[in-house]
Chain A
Amino acid sequence: MNIKKILPQLLTLLVVILIFGFFSYNAQVNMENRGITFGYGFLSQESSFDVQFSLIEYDGSHSYFRAYLVGLLNTILVSVIGIIFATIIGVVVGIARLSNNYLINKTAAVYVEFFRNIPLLLQIFFWYFAALRALPLPQDTEPMFGVFFLTIKGFFVPAFVWNNLDVFIYSLIAALISIIFVRIYARKKQENEGIQTPVLSISIGILIILPILSFLFGGVDASVEVPVIKQLSQTGFTYEGGIKLPPELISLALALSLYTATFIAECVRAGVQGVSKGQKEAAASIGLTPNQVLKLVVMPQALRIIIPPTTNQYLNLTKNSSLAAAIAYPDLVLVFAGTALMQTGRAIEIVSITMLTYLSLSISISILMNWYNKKIAIKEK
């Protein structure tokens, strides 16, 4: 080993360690001077504050760690909803921008330019307060299909009350496993005999039949619980029963997906335009139908261009969801880095946990998308 090669590396390492050491030492001394104690023990203490919307059972008698989980799950929930809708809107708008129809084309262009050039926080405020102004009070609302109630206090939807839910879930898992086997079988059959199997219709069939069987023979039973209106005061009403989606969640998801969809639309447009014309012409010349051209030739190549920048947009959406604190959606930042931080005063501990959590979320999304990207990348033999 050459010392000239190792020494700069060692020096760099030393500098990094010294810098970290300096900052942690500094923080330690400053905290000691100001009488601030450090430790993560508070996580098991009783939180003694409530949260308006939670996916898991939670109230103030649970621990701060439980409050952290509540915030984390709410962040994941709004991110997943946002990603799904942003992708759908993005793909539709992106393809619309390539349309030959002048009206569709320009509408899509105006949408993209408008929504991506307004700061996201403003859009969140706009959708939230616009929603609050536009939505009816609980007693004035017109039910949709008799069971959905969209009000200023939230979107009340019917809930399923399950018997033997576990059997139903097992049936779903069994259905998914059989679909994987069908796909493997279909691929083999095509490679060996050149015969195509209608995988999609078979999959849908399995996905419907197995759960139905679980209802018929597995003792699974579900009844629907419809929200009912309840009077709180002479003029105040709310709904009880069913599931309540708070208006904060709806407007945040709406703002995030409309904003991020503009960027995804541009990725999609770039991807499709990035496939050279010769590819389509060549595919058409060997007798593929336009549908097959899109499915077998254009899309696989376009996806290679679309996926990496879209991954960035998914990451942005997840991180942007932290703006939720402005409109009272109880996400990680509001519940944990907000209320919990205030009640305990443990800024360094809580901010470090929150940062690590967002980092882990982002890295998980990256890993997932990179795996997908690799899967669709050109396989050189």
Chain B
Amino acid sequence: MFKYLKQLTSLVAMVAVLFTFTTETMAAKKSKTLKNTQKKGFVRCGVSQGLPGFSNADAAGNWTGVDVDVCRAVAAAVLGDANKVKFTPLSAKERFTALTSNEIDILSRNTTWTLSRDADIGLTFVGVNFYDGQGFMVRKNSGYSSVNDFKNGISACTNLGTTTELNMRDFFNSKGISYEPVTFEKADEVVAAYDAGRCDTYTTDKSGLAAQRIKLSSPDDHIVLPETISKEPLGPVVRQGDSVWEDIVRWSLNVMIEAEEYGVNSANADSMKTSDNPAVKRLVGAEGELGAALGLDNDWSLRIIKQVGNYGESYKRNIADTGILPDRGPNELWTKGGILYVPPAR
């Protein structure tokens, strides 16, 4: 009897220890994410499994893209080095679970900002780094010149678990066209199936179509139809409940866009410290205490601009120069006819 009593006591003690441990770690401390990131020495960033221009790894494993640059900017701001990022490639299906279950700290994976995602599943969208819309790619020789040419029975290849699937249904329903949705988990399979002729059209965000077209066996035989059937504001996401971390990511992105607006780039950032414009001086940390408000030092934004560049540089390097979408379209500054307009960093 006493023998078992002893075992029982140790068991109870063990369980008690487990519980105190969990309640201790669960206590919501202010910016746990920032603390953990500084302790680890790298930013944990969730990206796509390969979308040229947004997040794509080369043969040597170096990630590039505008989504990648958001994570690099945060690393430059928080850790002082834009290269201190650990990238985790995620499928559309895995991405939110990876974020909410603490596998990553930023999800920068061409993710559409919608009400239900923002409100429902423990996520917070911090901004928009690319304004996109869903489109259709078809074979040139099909003779389709508009989505109005689509007929009943058309088959459409796309990725599963995205807003694309829902928009596609809304679109075909509103046109009264019956269609066959063929949905794959990975983009590479979508491309392969469309390329083989399984589907008459391939639908996803237009930037995605432009990027994936390069992977087709003969890209010139395909065109993207002019219509855009949805709004797809893509942007980085963080976990709900850590407002300091949320602010850091949001303003890392905003600083890149504002730097372009004020003509500050990676080459001239240092010399801008002596600028006459106080807004520019604030941007490079020569005036004001903006870093302290975020729990960072005052050079955080200067490092972002110097190491990653402004938004225009990032766009040019990743999307324009690679031939994906040379025309910036809506992703141009508001001062130049686009809709990129961020709150002032002051």
Residues of A at under 8 Å CB distance from B?
3-4, 7-8, 11, 14-15, 18, 22, 26, 29-31, 33-37, 48-52, 60, 129, 132-133, 137, 152-153, 230-236, 238, 240, 246-248, 325-328, 330, 334, 338-339, 341-345, 347
Contacts and interface: CB of A to CB of B under 8 A. Distances in A.
Contact of B197 (A8, A152, A231): A152
A49 B165 CA distance: 6
A129 B195 CA distance: 11
Contacts of A15: 11
A371 to B, nearest CB: 37
Given A29-B23, A34-B122, 18 more contacts: A33-B26, A34-B239, A34-B241, A48-B169, A49-B166, A137-B197, A152-B198, A232-B142, A233-B142, A236-B154, A325-B160, A326-B186, A328-B189, A334-B185, A339-B160, A342-B160, A343-B161, A347-B97
Contact of B183 (A7, A231, A339): A339
Nearest to A348: B97
Contacts of B122: 31, 34-36
Nearest to B15: A18
B120 interface: yes
Most chain A beta-carbon contacts within 10 A, residue among B150, B179, B198 = B198
Interface in B167-183: 168-170, 173, 179-183
B185 A50 contact: no
Contacts of B182: 52, 246, 248, 328
Contacts of B161: 338-339, 341-343
A268 B184 CA distance: 37
A223 B235 CA distance: 55
Contact of B241 (A33, A230, A238): A33
Contacts, number: 151
Nearest to B151: A232
B155 interface: yes
B192 A235 contact: no
List 4 tightest A-B contacts by C-beta distance, closest first. Answer: A342-B161, A345-B121, A234-B143, A34-B122
B337 interface: no
A269 B26 CA distance: 58
Interface string B106-139: 0000000000110011100000000000000011
B170 to A, nearest CB: 8
A4 B162 CA distance: 58
Contacts of B198: 132, 152-153, 247
Nearest to B173: A60
A327 B22 contact: no
Nearest to B190: A328
A29 B11 contact: no
Interface string B52-80: 00000000000000000000000000000
A60 B151 contact: no
Given A35-B240, A49-B165, A334-B183, A232 B121 contact: no
B26 A230 contact: no
A233 B144 contact: yes
B181 A7 contact: no
B166 A48 contact: yes
B139 A235 contact: yes
B151 to A, nearest CB: 5
